[in-house]
Amino acid sequence: MPRVFFITGTSTGFGNHLVQEVLDRGDIAVATARKPENLSFKNTTDKNYLAVKLDVTKKADIDSAFKAAIDKFQRVDVVVNNAGYGLSGVFEELTEQQYRTQMEVNFFGLMEVTKKSLEVMREQKPPGGVIQQVTSIGGQRGVPMFSIYCASKWAVEGFTEALSKEIKLEWGIKLTCIEPGGFRTDWAGRSMTFPEKRHPAYDHIDAKANMTKRHGTQAGDPKKGAKAMYEFAIMKDPPLRVVIGTDAYKAIMGKVKEYGELYPKYEKLSNSTDVDGYQAPN
């Protein structure tokens, strides 16, 4: 039976390519966007495609989008939380509204879509499904000029890992954090937001100039990234975390090495703080 994919943020980038990949593989795509009337894909029919309005910061949109998907296709097998955007600038240049909006879209919106996904997947017959959280290699390491963006993605990572330990095995629901590196999407182009004013103390960092220079030179091909995301979605036992992109792979292996050297260095002091006579439970 064809799988039903529910994908957020399908106007551009990974989401857009993933919808086409789903259709090309013979599965069903529910493509969501704030302006679904602007979406266009090849080989769509009434039986394999549905475009739905969805602003992930509006719970009513989330509920109605899932209802539309269930009404038309009776179930949802894969949810891809792809909606989000980049906010680049040194921390002291950013306004409170900018970092609150970043968290509303990248984290709180994702949480609400995840909550609805769990309800749908748990109650459908048979139960089960896959929820992919599109985070970032910036969800595993701090990147200069992306403090709030990284904060939003680290939050998704921690939330998803904790959630994965709460779900009953019999529900058959799997979660995966997809951690991309740099890809040639619109993320670093028209989708990127920057500070309204420069801070004089940070004359050594120009986020807008840096990102403009980088845009279009990244290693990653978004179409290939979408293919990888599809492959992870259809795995029988998908991983909780996985990077996509050669730069992301190199970065995460460097992080693993860094952790492996850091924590043992302070092992004695770290383990010196227990109550005298304390015995760890079995």
Active site residues: 149
The H or E element spanning position 51 is: strand 49-53
Query: Taking a C-beta distance cutoff of 8 angstroms, is the pair 219, 181 a contact?
Result: yes
Among 81, 87, 268, 99, smallest CA distance to 163 is for 81
Inter-axis angle of helices 59-73 and 110-123, nearest 10: 30
Residues 6+ apart with CB under 8 A from 172: 121, 126, 127, 128, 129
The rounded distance, in Å, linking the Cα atoms of 137 and 115 is 24
The rounded distance, in Å, linking the Cα atoms of 130 and 15 is 16
The rounded distance, in Å, linking the Cα atoms of 193 and 85 is 8
Handedness of CA 82, 85, 86, 92 (dihedral sign): negative
Residues 6+ apart with CB under 8 A from 200: none
> Do you know the residue count of the chain?
282
Among 115, 117, 105, 108, smallest CA distance to 5 is for 117
